[in-house]
Amino acid sequence: MNEIRILHIMDKVSVDGSRIHGPARQIAYRVPLYPSGRFKVMLLNLRGEDAACDVLRQAGVEVVSLNKGKYDLSSLFDVLRIMRNWRPSLLHLHGYASFNFGRVAGRIRHVPVVIQEHYVDKQLPHYQRAIDWFLRNWQSKALAVSKPVADFMITDRYVPAEQMEVLVNGLPVDRIVRSTPEERLALRRQLGIPGGAIVVGTAGRLAEMKGHHYFLQAAKLILERVPDAWFVVVGEGPQAGALRAQADELGLGNRVIFTGYQENVAPYLSLMDVGVVASIFNEGFNTVGLEMFAVDLPLVITDLPCFHEAYAHDENVLMVPPRDERALLESVVRLLQEPELARRLIEGGRKTVKRCRIDQVAARYAAIYEELAGASTDTSDSE
């Protein structure tokens, strides 16, 4: 049986100062789960080397970085050169420049192409729309991480509907384990949180789209209703300084703890009594909520179309309108005051996690690659 060689092409593997962005991390999660000896994976990073490249290499992915600008036309010749030397069975593309150069390179080299979008871009440039229209049939398969993203690809990026498939992000459940009571107590002491305090927290890249500034506004209101509440914010990003300043301006003092980047977020999520995802833009698919589910944390999340793929109001989460700190307040307090509701949502979260296990998601990717590589081989044989 021939080896299937998958060449991922990405515009970049991190964003806004994060160590690794979601699409690259998903690849790192999936690759070790592919059938041994059947797949070989390379990632071509159009930008420069950073910490995310090492994360991918540790997962068994060969990484090559081109150090090119977003629309540097010489990237096309680099892609063709690497394809000539590495001889991929198919291309899997992520990002505008990758879509453009990769689809052209795939057509030139007669290699099947998969394109995948990870979020809804409300500011899609007009020139990219024109390029997408011209290249609209230059791929064999299109993937989206949620239905709103799929609709965006079909409507705004001219992808044929018959090529589309929604394939949600997966979670390595076995790696995300709730801390023991002793471990939670030790981390509380390390962070300076009193043993009996209520902890409300959030996690994710500290960027505008994540809505952390609304979380902090809600924190001030929560503290007025729950005087023994503490707040934990896990993550790093471009708004870290502004959010710390906002916490000071709101008079939250030492009640808000910014942990910075944590490779293993499970211990910090395990500290929390209620988790919050306050995103304000359609981000594609949110995995932080799944991580909260995995450690049995009741969750309040904003009601965005991109979240409906995995999150349902009153089934596994309480949903609130975006940009509404008072709605966040009321839902958090409700979960603290209604333990039976919290238990019911936790059980719903457990069921959701089972549907989003990374091994199941990886198996579907492997099946797609097998199908496309097989079709390519059949076509070559017939020629």
- List pLDDT tens digits, range 182-231: 999 999 999 999 988 999 999 999 999 999 999 999 999 999 999 999 99
Is the same domain home to 350 and 330? Answer: yes
| Cβ neighbours around 97 below 10 Å, total | 24
| 147 plus 215 within the same structural domain | no
Is residue 382 very low, low, confident or very high in pLDDT (cuts 50, 70, 90)? very low
Mean pLDDT value of segment 117-127: 91
Banded pLDDT at 127 (limits 50, 70, 90):
very high
Same domain, 31 and 83: yes
Rounded to 5 degrees, what are φ and ψ at 41?
Answer: -125, 130
Reported confidence tier of residue 377, pLDDT bands at 50, 70, 90: low
Question: Which range marks the domain in which residue 191 is found?
Answer: 173-355
Give yes or no: residues 333 and 365 share one domain.
no
* Same domain as 178, residue 118: no
pLDDT given at position 376 = 62
Looking up residue 132, the CATH number of its domain turns out to be 3.40.50.2000
Same domain for 164 and 189: no
Task: For residues 345 and 371, state if they share a domain.
Answer: no
pLDDT at 257: 98
Written in H, E and C, the secondary structure of 62-131 is: EEEECCCCCCCCHHHHHHHHHHHHHCCCEEEEECHHHHHHHHHHHHHHCCCEEEEECCCCCCCCHHHHHH
What's the pLDDT score for residue 260?
A: 93
Looking at the structure, tell me whether residues 271 and 339 fall in a common domain: yes
Helix residue ranges per DSSP H, the chain:
22-30, 51-58, 74-86, 96-109, 126-134, 147-156, 181-191, 212-225, 240-249, 266-271, 288-294, 325-337, 339-355, 358-382
Structure confidence at residue 95 (pLDDT): 92
Q: Are residues 18 and 151 in the same domain?
A: yes
Same domain, 342 and 364: no
pTM of the model: 0.90
Check residue 74 and give its pLDDT: 94
To the nearest 10°, the Cα dihedral for 264, 168, 308, 317? -30
What mean pLDDT is predicted for residues 359-369? 97
135 and 43 in a single domain? The answer is yes
Quote the number of domains for the chain.
2
Query: What band does 314 get if pLDDT is binned at 50, 70 and 90?
Result: very high
CA distance 379 to 73: 30
